[in-house]
């Protein structure tokens, strides 16, 4: 039985990713990226990505020459060529023999999904990414089931939380609300957020319920 881990990470505005740069410039999203080696120059790769945006600049201010090669509807496929070894997020992951299976963007945010062989391999990848990108956020982790009754990792989709619920959780955690003893009470966290104590507890209860439903595998 396989014991690998499927992981999705998010990096906001990576400075060395052409795909994310183009997405950020248009405020659009990328939902398909492919790569092939240049037969005449194996040290170089050709990448194509499908960008969906409301409008496109005549020229992109990115670290590559982008060539539009196909358009339909609001989507355009762009192609560019680059040298291997530049240290982009994809290469950081694949250096650890972890294939990247999906790349997409939303605005300036880059999402990469990859497979690690085990927890040790995953920690090595995350460790290198955190050294390069301080704003790295692990979005999802899912481990292959060893049997039908046990999972060592729990799949938690952060997008199930509203932006406000996420802000409430992050602020409460930062201020020490969940510590024992508490470093901040509900009123202090609510004041920091600029909301009433009642509103704070409502957002917190809703967020905690969603997280517990995911962790406890409630339907």
**Spatial CB neighbours of 8, under 8 Å, sequence gap ≥ 6:** 102, 111, 112, 113, 138, 139, 140
Predicted confidence (pLDDT) at residue 22 exceeds the cutoff of 90:
yes
**Percentage of the residues of the chain whose pLDDT score is greater than 70:** 89
Predicted confidence (pLDDT) at residue 8 exceeds the cutoff of 60:
yes
Closest to 89 in 3D by CA, of 113, 71, 65, 116: 113
Predicted confidence (pLDDT) at residue 81 exceeds the cutoff of 70:
yes
Going from N- to C-terminal start, the domains of the chain cover 5-143, 158-215
| The pLDDT value given to residue 53 | 93
Q: What is the mean pLDDT of residues 18-44?
A: 88
pLDDT tens per residue across span 97-149:
999 999 999 999 999 999 998 888 888 999 999 899 988 888 888 876 554 44
Evaluate whether 169 touches 207 at the Cβ level (below 8 Å): yes
Evaluate whether 53 touches 60 at the Cβ level (below 8 Å): no
Higher-confidence position of 173 and 142: 173
Question: What DSSP assignment string belongs to 98-147?
Answer: --EEEEEEETTEEEEEEEESSHHHHHHHHHHHHHH-TT-EEEEEEEPPSS
Predicted confidence (pLDDT) at residue 6 exceeds the cutoff of 70:
yes
Q: How far apart are CA 219 and CA 216, in angstroms?
A: 9
| The pLDDT value given to residue 148 | 42
Evaluate whether 88 touches 16 at the Cβ level (below 8 Å): yes
Predicted confidence (pLDDT) at residue 27 exceeds the cutoff of 60:
yes
Q: How far apart are CA 84 and CA 42, in angstroms?
A: 9
The answer to whether the predicted template modeling score (pTM) of the entire model surpasses 0.95 is: no
């Amino acid at each position: 039985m396989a014991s690998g881990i499927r992981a999705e990470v998010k990096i906001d505005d990576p400075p060395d990713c052409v795909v994310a740069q183009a997405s950020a410039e248009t405020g659009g999203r990328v939902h398909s990226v492919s790569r092939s080696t240049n037969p005449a120059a194996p040290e170089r790769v050709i990448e194509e990505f499908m960008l969906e945006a409301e409008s496109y600049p005549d020229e992109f201010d990115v670290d590559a020459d982008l060539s539009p090669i196909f358009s339909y509807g609001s989507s355009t496929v762009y192609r560019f060529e680059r040298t291997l070894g530049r240290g982009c997020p994809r290469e950081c992951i694949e250096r650890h023999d972890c294939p990247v299976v999906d790349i997409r963007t939303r605005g300036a945010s880059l999402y990469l999904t990859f497979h690690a062989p085990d927890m040790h391999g995953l920690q090595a990848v995350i460790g290198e990414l955190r050294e390069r990108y301080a704003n790295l956020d692990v979005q999802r982790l899912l481990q292959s089931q060893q049997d039908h009754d046990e999972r060592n990792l729990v799949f938690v989709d952060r997008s199930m939380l509203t932006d406000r619920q996420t802000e409430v959780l992050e602020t409460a955690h930062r201020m020490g609300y969940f510590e024992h003893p508490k470093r901040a009470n509900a009123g202090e966290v609510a004041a920091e957020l600029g909301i009433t104590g009642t509103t704070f507890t409502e957002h917190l209860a809703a967020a905690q319920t969603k997280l517990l439903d995911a962790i406890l595998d409630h339907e």
